[in-house]
Structure 1
Amino acid sequence: MDIAHLRDFIAVVESGSLTRAAARLFVSQPAVSQRMSQLEYELGARLVERGPRGVVPTPAGRALYREAQQLVRRFDRLAEDIGADRHSVQGPVAVGLPTTVAVHLAPALFSWTKRHYPGVHLQLFESMSGYIQELLLVGRLDLAVLYRDDAAPRPAETALYAEDLYLVGRAAPGAEPAGAGEAAVAHASPGEVPLADLHGLPLVLPGPRSNLRSLVDRVFAESGAVPTIIADVDSLGAMMRIAESGEAHTVLPLSSVAALGSAPGLDVRRITDPVIGRCIAVSAAGEYYEPRDAVAAVRHGMVEVTARLAEQDAWPGIRLAPGAAPA
């Protein structure tokens, strides 16, 4: 087995078809099939199941896929580092950002990296939090922004900020919206609403793989209730538009409401009794070794950019983690 076999195997799993993998690898389909059989023989295990609808990895294949992703990435990084100019920081860095973070951090991080490390090629992936964590675990990302329930230190993680969650929806007829107006949102001055008032309120939230959904479910359960979720919506923009329609409410951090621009009459209230808060950190792919220079540089940039945006009141609703202050 060599690195080429692992590349072939990754292509087969991600393509879900020997034919599509062959096209991706610019070889014939029989050649790919032969390589898979040879790899299975060398490892003494069946790695994929072949069927009329394509191929799917077996449990052994899924385990190999996770490890192969990381091995191939490390091999590629090693080759880049050896061949690179040692006096400059360069190379690709894959960063995963949950949607509620990306609206603020992505453009600022792009500008910072372009200005400070022009040799670094950013690869920014935006998705819901559960998928971002999966990509990090299988080695598809170098860095990922993750949500945590507490600020406890964890291996390979750097704390960024903490934030609270808000109820967002159309104000009742005749009521003064608690968070009406751009100024109210920008200066984090909306009203408050106790969690008990959310019992039975129609909500739209991301699916169960989302940290936001898991957090809301847990806090409701601790209060002896279940949220009334009438639709799973894995789109930040769609959640806001539905909230603006008045047909349901949603739960979001204040920064997301400000970034998307709330419509007149939208009610934005901080949830209390209890406050629903979460901590946000950037995690590196490897827990037991220092990331290469380009990854370390981008991680530093994420901390610096977050601190600058908070200092300039350009990221409303966040509280910087201890140590995440401008240099």
Structure 2
Amino acid sequence: MSMDIRQIRYLVAAVEGGSLSSAAKQQFVTVQAVSKGISELENEVGTPLLIRGNHGVKPTAIGQGFYDRARKTLESFQELQDFSERVPARNSANHLLVTFCAPPFEGGDDAMRRLSALLGARLGIEIEILIVPGKTSLVALRSHAVDAVCMIGEYSAPDTDCISIGSLPTGVGMTATHPLASKKTVRLADLEPYPVMWSESFDSFNRSICTIYSERGLTAPIVRIAEDGTPTPDDADLSQAVYFSVYLSPFGQPFRNSRVVPIDPAEAISIPICFVTLKNAKSEAYLALERQIRTAFKLTSLLRV
């Protein structure tokens, strides 16, 4: 027998609730079902994961390590479920599925729906644009689950084509109360006292904004943020951290209680917006988009082409 997601859910619920009965209530099953599932999991792992007592349960040392990893697994599994539920049935002749590589932002899903409707009406096909992290998007592309990936920054791989459809100005994101938030523009030297966040999810797979400014003399300390949110160095103070972003002033701020300040024109770069597709595997719907892609995206007034 191999472990399954149900057993993992039972263990996580038991650790977080402190008892099998609490886990049973959360999972809407009997205590016996939870106990049996966790016992099967312990047999699979080969060691006890919980210490069972009169006042509840707590993880063993190995159980704590297993729980830490199981929690991340459940979060990833939930993201996968959410993504699959949003993917419509595909018809390559008249339906185009595109992922946009960006962190979720304020009003993002609504903006993608409006953009999908605008482009679909222009091209006479059904278009669905979903906000999905970069690495997940590329896996979906290579498994033929999506037609194309739209990303901020260039991407290069032997099995893909990458075309630029325009560019966007860049800025620095921060909390609304950050010492730099009141400035009209910022220079790279202004960032030196503050950690700059580099995200494993959004900066590691292509030539991101952070990557380019690092090559251009950025001296501020870089804090790497793992996919689970863990910073390196792990004692980094992120209370005044900043991050690089596109700058879309007419469209407000991407996150609540935040601000993106444009970079001084003397140092600013424009970042290309790119479409990535598999070589020799472009759907009919994507080819229809590619024939008019720059004109279509001018309609959004988002890009400087």
Which among 187, 202, 213 is matched to residue 194 of structure 1? 187
Of stretches 213-222 and 249-258 in structure 1, the one that deviates more from structure 2 is 213-222
Partner of 1:48: none
TM-fit CA distance, 1:272: 5.7
Structure 2 residue runs of 5 or longer lacking an equivalent are 7-42, 46-88, 230-237
CA distance in 2, matches of 1:140, 1:256: 33
TM-score computed with the length of structure 2 as normaliser:
0.50
Partner of 1:128: 133
Of stretches 126-135 and 223-232 in structure 1, the one that deviates more from structure 2 is 223-232
Give the aligned CA root-mean-square deviation in angstroms: 4.7
TM-fit CA distance, 1:213: 8.6
Partner of 2:98: 95
What pairs up with 1:55-204 in 2 under 5 angstroms? 89-90=93-94, 92-99=95-102, 103=108, 104=111, 106-114=113-121, 116-117=123-124, 120-149=125-154, 156-169=161-174, 170=176, 177-178=182-183, 191-204=184-197
Structure 1 residue runs of 5 or longer lacking an equivalent are 1-15, 20-50, 54-75, 82-88, 179-190, 236-244, 321-327
TM-fit CA distance, 1:301: 6.1
Deviation string, structure 1 residues 86-107 (Cα, Å, up to 9, x no partner): xxx53x4221112379945552
CA distance in 2, matches of 1:221, 1:208: 20
- SS of match in other structure, 1:309: coil
Q: Does 1:288 align with 2:293?
A: no
- SS of match in other structure, 1:282: strand
Structure 1 contact 135–141 (Cα < 8 Å) conserved: yes
- Please tell me the residue identity of whatever aligns with 1:306: F
- Please tell me the residue identity of whatever aligns with 1:126: I
TM-fit CA distance, 1:221: 5.2
Structure 2 contact 151–274 (Cα < 8 Å) conserved: yes
What pairs up with 1:266-281 in 2 under 5 angstroms? 266=259, 268-271=261-264, 274-281=267-274
- Please tell me the residue identity of whatever aligns with 1:305: A
Partner of 2:203: 210
TM-fit CA distance, 1:254: 0.9
- Please tell me the residue identity of whatever aligns with 1:293: E
Structure 2 contact 172–262 (Cα < 8 Å) conserved: yes
- Please tell me the residue identity of whatever aligns with 2:172: L
TM-score computed with the length of structure 1 as normaliser:
0.48
Change (3 A) 1:232 1:260: farther
CA distance in 2, matches of 1:204, 1:225: 13
Change (3 A) 1:123 1:300: same
CA distance in 2, matches of 1:113, 1:93: 9
CA distance in 2, matches of 1:246, 1:150: 31
- Please tell me the residue identity of whatever aligns with 2:280: Y
Structure 2 contact 99–129 (Cα < 8 Å) conserved: yes
TM-fit CA distance, 1:192: 2.6
Structure 1 contact 208–214 (Cα < 8 Å) conserved: no
CA distance in 1, matches of 2:240, 2:5: 46
Change (3 A) 1:167 1:108: same
Percentage identity across paired residues of the two chains:
12
TM-fit CA distance, 1:168: 2.8
Q: Does 1:219 align with 2:242?
A: no
CA distance in 1, matches of 2:5, 2:104: 37
CA distance in 2, matches of 1:114, 1:299: 15
CA distance in 1, matches of 2:270, 2:200: 19
Partner of 1:319: 304
